[in-house]
Amino acid sequence: MTKNRLSGAVSSLNDLVFRLRGPGGCPWDAEQTDDTAKMYLIEEAYEVLDAIGSKSPEDVCEELGDLIFQVFFIAALAKERGEFDLTGVIERITEKMIRRHPHVFGDKTVTGSSDVSDNWDRIKREEKKENNSPLSRLNNVPVNLPALLRAHRLSERASKVGFDWAGKEEIWEKVEEEFGELAGAVKENNEKKVREEMGDLMFSLVNLARHWGFNSEQLMQDSNRKFINRFERMESELRSSGSGIDKAGVEDMNRAWDKIKSSGK
């Protein structure tokens, strides 16, 4: 991709957004606001994730385009209010990336990705201090992140100041402890306590995954895909046997599920 082609494509899409919003444009687009646009932004971001999971370059390309359109659209709304424009958005993120990569654009030396991460956090804290922002390490972890991902990011931030388990063995002991407390609450039939202990166990499992180098959000997405795949194959197995899932009993479904699971496909 040449520089002229890229700048032309960016300019054309930006012009298209304002054409849709302007006189003689699209009535639907003209009615959109930040509140409506942010929901489409979230939806398109998840569709990008699905496309990446499907490992289809064509789908990823298309969904990234849909996501970029939402970014351009929200920037256009801001420009209409005289707040900022797309050029400002691009300039600001470019400046930020240069500032946060002194090992690339400056004279900082790093020995690996761990140093890069530490420098990033230090520079970010300095930026927030300059802006008179609160300095809690847990600030700016978005509230609207999926809960598993947010738990991962919160515990990751806390670990940067040494507030963490020593290693996999220690966090595994914590998981066992939390499971025992949940088992006790279930035995007591204490609904409030079950709710609390279940949350504690989930948070501990998120940390166990993090210590193994995994992201719990991704693990859950993988498990969801595996469940969907097996369930669809179970439905197919039941149809092949002549019963179908609507007529099958629990034993029939369990038998089909175990067959599929044991096949290892």
Query: What does the pLDDT look like over 135-156, one tens digit per residue?
Result: 567 877 888 888 999 999 999 9
- Give residue for tokens 């009535």: 27
Report how far residue 45's alpha carbon sits from residue 63's, in angstroms, rounded to the nearest whole number. Answer: 8
Give the model's confidence band at 131: pLDDT under 50 very low, under 70 low, under 90 confident, else very high.
low
pLDDT attached to residue 178: 97
Output the pLDDT for position 140.
73
Residue at a domain's end among 99, 134, 167: 99
Q: Is residue 12 part of a domain?
A: yes
Together in a domain, 7 and 88: yes
Residues 59 and 32 in one domain: yes
pLDDT of residue 75: 97
CA distance 200 to 169: 18
Q: Give me 131's structure tokens.
A: 């802006």
Q: Write down the pLDDT at residue 105.
A: 95
Same domain, 179 and 205: yes
- Residue 40 counted as domain residue: yes
How confident is residue 57, by pLDDT bands cut at 50, 70 and 90?
very high
Q: Is the pLDDT of residue 235 over 60?
A: yes
Query: Residues 13, 85: one domain?
Result: yes
Residue 32 belongs to domain with CATH number: 1.10.287.1080
Structure tokens at 198: 């279940």
Domain co-membership, 77 together with 49: yes
pTM listed for this prediction: 0.68
Same-domain pairing of 8 and 95: yes
Classify residue 68: in a domain, yes or no: yes
pLDDT of residue 129: 74
pLDDT digits (tens, 9 = 90+) for 87-97: 999 999 999 99
Q: How confident is the model at residue 133 (pLDDT cuts 50, 70, 90)?
A: low
Among 177, 198, 214, the domain boundary falls at 214
pLDDT at 128: 76
> Who has greater pLDDT, 214 or 122?
214
Same domain as 76, residue 7: yes
How much is the pLDDT for 32?
95
pLDDT confidence bin for 98, thresholds 50/70/90 = very high
45, part of any domain: yes
Going by C-alpha positions, the residue among 61, 45, 35 that lies closest to residue 149 is 45
Could you give the C-alpha distances from 6 to 57, 72, 131, 210, in angstroms and in order?
A: 19, 15, 33, 38
- Examine the domain organization and report whether 68 and 42 are in the same domain: yes
Q: Give the whole-angstrom CA distance, residue 166 versus residue 63.
A: 41
Indicate if 176 and 197 belong to the same structural domain.
yes
DSSP string over 187-200:
HHT-HHHHHHHHHH
The predicted pLDDT at position 132 comes to 63
What mean pLDDT is reported for the chain?
91
Of 175, 192, 214, which closes a domain? 214
The answer to the question of residue 119 being in a domain is no
Domain that holds residue 238: 219-263
Mean pLDDT of 211-218: 93
pLDDT at residue number 134: 59
pLDDT at 126: 84
Whether residue 265 has pLDDT greater than 60: no
Inside any domain, residue 191: yes
Instruction: Count how many domains the chain has.
Output: 3
Q: What value does the mean pLDDT take over residues 222-232?
A: 91
One domain for residues 200 and 228: no
Integer Cα distance of 78 and 85 in angstroms: 7
Residue 253 belongs to a domain: yes
The CB density around residue 40, as the number of other CB atoms within 10 Å, is 16
User: Is the pLDDT assigned to residue 1 strictly greater than 80?
Assistant: no
Residues 25, 90 within the same domain: yes
Same domain, 242 and 163: no
Flag whether 114 is in a domain. Answer: no
